[in-house]
Structure 1
Amino acid sequence: MTGPSRLANPLTRIPGGRDGRRMLLVTFVDRVGSGLWGATAALYFTYATGLTTAEIGFLLAVSGAIGIAGPPLGGLLADRVPLRPLLVLVQAVRAVASLALLTTVDLRLLLVIQAIGSLGDRASSVLTKLYATRVAGPDRARYQAFNRTVANSGWAVGGLAAAAALTVGTVPVYQWLLVGDALSFLASALLTLRCAEPLSHSRVVTHTATAQETGTRPGPEPGSARASATTRAPNPWRDRRYLAYTASDAVLFLDDSVFKIGLPLWAVTATSAPHQLVPLLLVLNNVLVVLFQVPFARFGATPRAARDTLLPLAAAFLAGAAALAASAAGARWAATAALIVAATAFTVAEMLHAAVSWELSVALAPPTAQGAYLGVHGLAQAIQRSAGPLAVTAAIAAGPVGWIVFGAGLAAVCGAQRHLVTDRGDGALSVPSVTVSEH
């Protein structure tokens, strides 16, 4: 086990070796492009394609709903085909979809193209996570911390570049930002080609079973553990405990909606804090993640550590919600201070949950079906993106009491998830120490 002092130093060696470092570069390039497009998508559809606000909402909502299928589909394929070429293919599809948006202003065609891009975006996320899981091994929690730090940095760079470009605000500028997004996916695909194919336990089991069926090599003794492992891979859709874990994790991802919707709306409609504070709170969130996500990796270094971290995670959610409730009362300076405390507490919750979710989603997945299981877990974020805005706006509508109930609900889910994981037992949470090669 890696010691806490080593984990606390963000300058220590990145897990996964050369391939791990290259995949971090892939993440950075990918997120720079996403930052360019994410900051300008609504403006592009408004001014470059001439869609109405209602049409844009319909386009993004439907394509996002279709994209929910991306994680389970990508994870299922990753257990059956080599991961690296699959990831390259998905990046290429994203690039083509981005460029294809430039070719039409027809809503129906835009919907098809945007849906394909959304499928690729969501699949890419789980495939990148799976690659990191395979190359980083037991250090996967620390690798994920580096990955989130790099991703946030990439988003910031892309967002700043988009903000600078938008000072011009012409249609060609929106189009070139979309081209930049496509080029980032192409660059990511080329960088991924330089990475090695990671070792996969699930594919070697499948290969062994196929060989036994064709008689090309002797099989194990009937009834042995190896024989049972080669007959049928576990199915995450029949694993009620993992599905319950995924559902609870979807709730804990609500911190994303708090920062994107809840905190900005609450600050400008229910508090006396200056409106200029809102973007600064989002900057604070980004800076804290970049500075502290790697040290926070210690909280997800092992399954036991991740499980124990669910209690301080509940406390962080409660503190953030209480601070939001308090921000509605008092003078301008008091509201400002309370919002800063709330943003800090929810950022701490975000970093703790990132470490916990990364570790438990992998540790609870059987090694022989890791891709399929992580694909199902990828639905947690997709579901949150759809239902999260409704939950957050409901809290806002209920006033300060709504935030107290919101925080208490998140804390209760933390406790329920801890109980769910504890019931599974330490043995089931252990990660195999031996990685099986495909070769």
Structure 2
Amino acid sequence: MITTGAGHGVTSGPDAGPQRALIIASFVSRVGNGLFNTAAILYFTLVVHLPAAQVGAGLTIAGLAGLAAGIPAGNLADRYGPRTIWLVTLALQAVTMAAFVLIDGWLVFTLVATLDRLAATASGAAGGALVARVGGGRPAAFRARLRTFVNLGVVVGTLGAAVAIQIDSRPAYTALILANAASFACAGLIVLLGVPNHPPLPRPDEHRSWSVLADRPYVAFVALYSAMGLQYQTVSLLLPIWLTAHTDAPRWTVAAVYAINSGVCVLLQSRLGSTVETPRQGGRAFRLAGLLFLVSCPLMALTADVPARVAPVLAVLAVCVHSVGEVWESSAGVALGYGLAPDHAQGQYQGLFGLGFDAGQALAPVFLTGAVLALGHSGWLLLGALFAALGAAGPPVAAWAERTRPAKAGTGATAPGQQAGSALHEADR
């Protein structure tokens, strides 16, 4: 039995086996991601000897090109079944990742990175649709557990990568890349053996391949969530630069805030995330996240105004507050991202959701370093105010979306994700 901090668990029943298999597969693949992502820039620059500027340009091209795969892959998942498409994308990721050991120049690097991002984006859309189908009677609780183990997998992979970084040799970095490739293959095998091949759901006559773009409330939610996604790189990019360039905090503070951010998310994701089940609850969680970010951003700015012995303590406090906000924000994203999507078009909707988030993450470094960091303390205050304003828009957007989905959400109705869980239980579990 897989337990959660809230006392819920994957118990015996028709949903338990597929849910457990999907959690294990996701954990395995994220361990591989943690192994590779931590050391990737070092491999490309120190082993392949590509200039950092070329690596950045290649990754930017790959990231932008990868956006094109989301909605088409989601449509394929809706048409042919999410497990089938996800298995294909996992196989593609295994191949493209392994190909990184063969790169010897910028053009080959950019080509491989682009194919890898296309496969990863497609995998996100198909995998999201599969999560919706496996969710069972309590989809929010399952997704919270899944995210907990995803976060834990990244932490484990990051720790493993530290060993290779310490060895600092081509064989060590090659082993990380091949281990990540193997993680995709292992995840696919686990899903193949442990998750049923859910058939596609019947689609209404008015369904179109780009119907999600006409769903204005959902598009508005994706825009809000993508903008709020700046908060991830606030901790991973902006705060480390601020601590090293503008404070007297010891350098180990940067590593400490990384570890604390991951730890808080792992410990609280199931406990808090399992309580956010409906779109309405998601809207309120989104607002709460914005308020917590409004508190954390000024605290991060204040680290530049305190003595060296106080700065680490203040940074840790700020990151703890921020991390709780991150848990609420991610829980809101899951509740709204899945709960507002029609059951027959989860793949298409998850494709748009991933596209928006990835686009926001691609633009985040430019905004955070070019605007927020340049403004100093004022930039931090404006960033916190932006998060609060985005959070405040969560409840009205959720209410707007619910009004456009009669008989699927609201008083006495079952949320779309829950409908999918119960219907699938009757059909093929």
| 1:212-257 deviation digits (Å, cap 9, x = unpaired) | xxxxxxxxxxxxxxxxx23534700122221111111101111211
The answer for the alignment partner of 1:109 in structure 2 is 108
- TM-fit CA distance, 1:125: 2.4
The one-letter code of the counterpart of 1:435 is: A
The answer for the alignment partner of 1:98 in structure 2 is 97
The alignment status of 1:431 with 2:392, answered yes or no, reads no
Give the secondary structure class of the aligned counterpart of 1:205.
coil
Give the secondary structure class of the aligned counterpart of 1:204.
coil
- Select which of 295, 298, 307 maps to 1:322: 298
Q: Tell me whether 177-186 or 332-341 shows the greater mean CA deviation.
A: 332-341
Q: What are the equivalent positions in structure 2 for 1:377-388 lying under 5 Å apart? A: 377-388=353-364
Aligned length in residues: 411
- Select which of 214, 217, 236 maps to 1:260: 236
Q: What are the equivalent positions in structure 2 for 1:35-114 lying under 5 Å apart? A: 35-114=34-113
- Report percent identity of matched pairs: 27
The answer for the alignment partner of 1:289 in structure 2 is 265
Q: Tell me whether 54-63 or 422-431 shows the greater mean CA deviation.
A: 422-431
**Partners in 2 of 1:98 and 1:48 — Cα distance?**
16
The alignment status of 1:132 with 2:109, answered yes or no, reads no
Q: What are the equivalent positions in structure 2 for 1:173-188 lying under 5 Å apart? A: 173-188=172-187
Q: What are the equivalent positions in structure 2 for 1:35-434 lying under 5 Å apart? A: 35-197=34-196, 199=198, 203-206=200-203, 229-233=204-208, 235-393=211-369, 394-425=371-402, 427=406, 429=409, 430-432=414-416, 433=419, 434=422
**Partners in 2 of 1:267 and 1:9 — Cα distance?**
38
**Partners in 1 of 2:120 and 2:214 — Cα distance?**
26
**Partners in 1 of 2:394 and 2:227 — Cα distance?**
11
Give the secondary structure class of the aligned counterpart of 1:378.
helix
- TM-fit CA distance, 1:128: 2.1
C-alpha change, 1:50 and 1:6, in structure 2 (3 Å) is closer
The one-letter code of the counterpart of 2:21 is: R
Q: Which structure would you say has the larger Rg? A: 1
TM-score (norm 1): 0.88
**Partners in 1 of 2:68 and 2:196 — Cα distance?**
25
C-alpha change, 1:316 and 1:103, in structure 2 (3 Å) is same
Alignment RMSD: 2.2
Give the secondary structure class of the aligned counterpart of 1:341.
helix
**Partners in 1 of 2:39 and 2:313 — Cα distance?**
31
TM-score (norm 2): 0.90
- TM-fit CA distance, 1:8: 1.5
Q: Structure 2 stretches of 5 or more lacking a match? A: none
The alignment status of 1:8 with 2:15, answered yes or no, reads no
**Partners in 1 of 2:207 and 2:270 — Cα distance?**
38
**Partners in 1 of 2:327 and 2:128 — Cα distance?**
16
| 1:308-338 deviation digits (Å, cap 9, x = unpaired) | 2233212111111121122221222332232
- TM-fit CA distance, 1:127: 2.2
**Partners in 1 of 2:349 and 2:236 — Cα distance?**
28
- TM-fit CA distance, 1:194: 0.8
The one-letter code of the counterpart of 1:205 is: P
| 1:66-92 deviation digits (Å, cap 9, x = unpaired) | 112232222121111122121111111
Q: Structure 1 stretches of 5 or more lacking a match? A: 207-228
Contact 2:212 2:218 in 1 (8 A): yes
- TM-fit CA distance, 1:10: 5.7
| 1:232-288 deviation digits (Å, cap 9, x = unpaired) | 347001222211111111011112111210111111112222221110111011111
Contact 2:23 2:146 in 1 (8 A): yes
**Partners in 1 of 2:229 and 2:12 — Cα distance?**
26
C-alpha change, 1:160 and 1:40, in structure 2 (3 Å) is same
| 1:339-391 deviation digits (Å, cap 9, x = unpaired) | 11210111011100111110111121122222111110112320121111122
**Partners in 1 of 2:219 and 2:284 — Cα distance?**
21
C-alpha change, 1:366 and 1:204, in structure 2 (3 Å) is closer
